[in-house]
Amino acid sequence: MPKITKPLTNTEIEKLKAKNTAYDSRTDGGGLYLLVKPNGVKTWQFNYYKPITKKRTYISLNNYPDLSLVQEIQTRGI
């Protein structure tokens, strides 16, 4: 049975702290990730499957809070 992922909230995103290495915060289940870099910058990324090459890639969309969680979900088309 697939694991159901709890959607991200703005409060949870604001509480994320920078670490020594970049890390992906958890996803909302739709391919949207938040990458937290060592300098504290939080960048939205979308895990995309390229149908022609049949490979997965991350597409960087914008930084948080420049692009809020609500705007990010609308950009993704949900």
- C-alpha to C-alpha distances, 46 to 33, 39, 57, 74, nearest whole angstrom: 6, 21, 8, 13
10-76 under CATH 3.30.160.390, yes or no: yes
More confident residue, 75 or 30: 30
Whole-number pLDDT of residue 74: 62
Give the predicted TM-score (pTM) of the model: 0.67
The predicted model gives 60-74 an average pLDDT of: 69
Which two three-digit tokens encode residue 4? Answer: 């159901």
Q: Residue 58 pairs with which residues in a beta bridge?
A: 47
